[in-house]
Structure 1
Amino acid sequence: MTAWTDHLARQGARLDGAALAFSDADTEARAAAEGTITVPLLHLGVIRSVGPDSAPFLHNLVSNDVQKLGADAAAWNSFNSPKGRMIASFLIWREAEGHALALSADILPPFLKKLSMYVLRSKVKLADASAETLLIGVAGAGAASALQAAGLPSPNAGMTQLCDAEGTRCIRIADAMFVLAVPSAAAPRVFDALVAGGATKAGTAAWQLAMIRAGLPLVTAATQEEFVAQMLNYELIGGVSFQKGCYPGQEIVARTQYLGKLKKRMYRLAIPAVATPAAGADLFAPDFGDQSIGKLVNVAPAPGGGYEALAVMQTSSAEGGELHLGAPDGIRLTLLQLPYALT
């Protein structure tokens, strides 16, 4: 336990490793779907890159342009294998002395180790900053009002950030979704101020549902090296630059974009309550028989029971409409709309 998790426990949080909840799954799902929530993002961690070479160092390794990332900007980004498969997806933003990367906590230690292997003579230092910078999510129609009531900065434009005098940084990742990067000592006060400002305290699954409905995927240990960026719609959400120079996997990502038809995309699904789905589970459809057509990426309980998920699958199977979980005759799945077009 830390001072942060101790505080959350006193506020009624039930902690389970890197996940937490304040209420039952249905209540929190309804809060995410119908209200405004604030969520301690314990399932995410932070890597900090500091030094004069931070931008060029990262730029040469990741799918998006870091050199052109503005001081008030943030972006989705990814690190890929030489075969173009995503090892880590992350939110990146500029800081005074470098950059910060927010990614799934369960892949942070090995990813940091891998990233550190590339430092060599670059004037940059990488460190796990998860203990000193805590992340809090705010989502829902009243998110901006809750931030204002709490005395926190609220960017007007998507994928931009503002930082207050005390070092709390607010990043707008969607129309009504924000991520706060907060100095650890200030996190309890900031969280309590958001609740006092009208946000409902909610747990990890509620935030995951909001991310699923926004069509924003997160690579976790269960799905590492499974997907090329475009399979996760990453170029559609601004996570890939096709103008920047080479990086690991760049040839595969570029070839996928410019040569031939993309055979797999990420979709949003509804899963009945009779199933117990997990990220990485296989999907099936009649047009591929007993061969998997794709995998679940992220899953969260839905209001009223069942689950919603982001899933990568064959586009032909999605167009056919008959989708099953776990086996060719498994639970029938239903396609739901994403907030953007799959073009």
Structure 2
Amino acid sequence: MTEPTVSTSAWIEFLKQQGAQFAAADPLELQDFGALAPKAEEQESFFAPLTDLGLIGAAGDDAASFLHSQLTNDVTHLNTEEARLAGYCSPKGRLLATFLMWRDAQQVFLQLPRALQPAIQKRLQMFVMRAKAKLSDQSDNYAVIGLAGPAALNALAEWFPVLPASPYSRIENTNGTLIRVADAQNGARFQWIATPETLIGAWPKLAQHLAAVSPQAWRLSEIRAGVPQITTATQEQFVPQMINYELIGGVNFKKGCYPGQEIVARSQYLGKLKRRTMLASLDNSEVDVRAGGEIFSSADPDQPCGMVVNAGASGGGRALALVEIKVAAPESGSIHFGSAGGPQLQFHDLPYVLADPQ
């Protein structure tokens, strides 16, 4: 990807000039574009600066083979025209992080929440040993915009005349990298990763086609697509299959060893999976529905039957969430957030089938 000439700090300042408001406790947590801006949860077509995402770069002759030995997906056969999901597990097979992964001619990139990036990068670096691989923080070198909805296709045409044709395909040109990620609500979604300078220059024309909204709109689209993301609240809580990660292409069972691989493989092939992640909505007018929150069944109210993986306000006093849960729990009783007397969850179909291993 093209090297930056404008820093992320200039990108953040530019966003503030467009009306972006950031959290007091986290200067990179974009909350909204002001009270009069379009509501994130109400937009069918939008573009959102994803300022909460970080980026690790891995360069060197052994970069791909090193990451291949650490992650749940195949890295050595990753080509420059695709992106993949991948997980990083503890020795116990529990996910420490989930990534969107791609490569260019120089390095492999791992995208993850900024809040997790320093510790994950440090942990990976510990295992480089004698491999010819160097990890670097690329978060300040590139900016990211998420785009979704029918209008996004025309909005991108000036910079990418040919768009990625299918989910997890990638196109790179002088304007940066465009990755089509998992579709949501039968519509294409894209991430545009480029230098801050490029995206600052593109902003006015994008705004002619699309509403600029907070990353909340993008997170909701991820939830609707059934694509989970590990956060600080859920590290080491889930084996990949608990969050459907093998169903969405995040696990390769033929690639060989990585930390936790035996446990992940055992979960896949020995017996029926008893826990999965499902899509649910619930009332959040009086509770704070967020990742890490526990859920309970009326049939067994004294102990939790699952956990919220990701959640976001979806308007009208409701929240949308991906919840990891015992598969049998919804069949034996009503499911509630926080306690057996908390808001009840209503379950919805995911855009893929919760299949058992063959």
Category of TM-score, reference length = shorter chain: over 0.9
Q: Is the 8 A contact 2:147 2:191 kept in 1?
A: yes
State the partner residue of 1:210: 221
Q: 1:134 aligns with which of 133, 139, 143?
A: 143
Q: Deviations for 1:44-72, whole angstroms, at most 9, x for unmatched residues?
A: 10000011111100000000011111221
SS at match of 1:218: coil
SS at match of 1:221: coil
State the partner residue of 2:204: 192
State the partner residue of 1:315: 327
State the partner residue of 2:278: 267
Q: 1:116 aligns with which of 122, 125, 130?
A: 125
Could you say if the C-alpha distance between residues 210 and 153 of structure 1 is closer, same or farther in structure 2, counting changes exceeding 3 Å? same
- 1:222 and 2:233 are equivalent in the alignment: yes
- 1:174 and 2:182 are equivalent in the alignment: yes
Q: 2:63 aligns with which of 51, 54, 57?
A: 54
State the partner residue of 2:247: 236
- 1:22 and 2:33 are equivalent in the alignment: yes
Q: Is the 8 A contact 1:160 1:172 kept in 2?
A: yes
Q: How many positions carry a matched residue from both structures?
A: 338
Q: Deviations for 1:176-203, whole angstroms, at most 9, x for unmatched residues?
A: 111111113222123333223x121010
Report the CA distance between 1:300 and its aligned residue: 0.9
State the partner residue of 1:68: 77
- 1:36 and 2:45 are equivalent in the alignment: yes
Report the CA distance between 1:135 and its aligned residue: 1.2
Could you say if the C-alpha distance between residues 89 and 132 of structure 1 is closer, same or farther in structure 2, counting changes exceeding 3 Å? same
Normalised by the length of structure 2, the TM-score is: 0.91
Q: 1:324 aligns with which of 304, 319, 336?
A: 336
Which amino acid in 1 is paired with 2:18?
A: Q
Q: How high is the sequence identity, in percent, across the aligned residues?
A: 39
For 1:280-295, what aligned pairs fall within 5 Å after superposition? 280-295=292-307
Report the CA distance between 1:144 and its aligned residue: 1.9
Tell me how far apart the structure 1 counterparts of residues 161 and 11 of structure 2 sit (CA, whole Å). Answer: 19
Which of 148-157 and 45-54 deviates more? 148-157
Q: Is the 8 A contact 2:299 2:333 kept in 1?
A: no
Which of 18-27 and 96-105 deviates more? 18-27
Q: Is the 8 A contact 1:48 1:99 kept in 2?
A: yes
Higher helix share: 1
Q: 1:247 aligns with which of 258, 273, 286?
A: 258
Q: Is the 8 A contact 1:153 1:170 kept in 2?
A: no
Tell me how far apart the structure 1 counterparts of residues 162 and 173 of structure 2 sit (CA, whole Å). Answer: 6
Tell me how far apart the structure 2 counterparts of residues 143 and 217 of structure 1 sit (CA, whole Å). Answer: 23
Report the CA distance between 1:14 and its aligned residue: 0.8
Report the CA distance between 1:288 and its aligned residue: 3.1
- 1:3 and 2:14 are equivalent in the alignment: no
SS at match of 1:38: strand
Report the CA distance between 1:321 and its aligned residue: 5.4
RMSD: 1.6
Normalised by the length of structure 1, the TM-score is: 0.94
Q: Deviations for 1:243-294, whole angstroms, at most 9, x for unmatched residues?
A: 1100001111111110011111011111202322111000000333311111
Which amino acid in 2 is paired with 1:91?
A: L
Tell me how far apart the structure 1 counterparts of residues 69 and 204 of structure 2 sit (CA, whole Å). Answer: 40
Could you say if the C-alpha distance between residues 10 and 74 of structure 1 is closer, same or farther in structure 2, counting changes exceeding 3 Å? same
Tell me how far apart the structure 2 counterparts of residues 274 and 315 of structure 1 sit (CA, whole Å). Answer: 27
Q: Is the 8 A contact 2:19 2:33 kept in 1?
A: yes
Could you say if the C-alpha distance between residues 310 and 95 of structure 1 is closer, same or farther in structure 2, counting changes exceeding 3 Å? same
Could you say if the C-alpha distance between residues 189 and 56 of structure 1 is closer, same or farther in structure 2, counting changes exceeding 3 Å? same
State the partner residue of 1:12: 19
SS at match of 1:295: strand
Q: Is the 8 A contact 2:93 2:259 kept in 1?
A: yes
Which amino acid in 2 is paired with 1:173?
A: V
Report the CA distance between 1:303 and its aligned residue: 3.1
> Would you identify which runs of 4 or more consecutive aligned residues in structure 1 move more than 3 Å?
23-26, 149-153
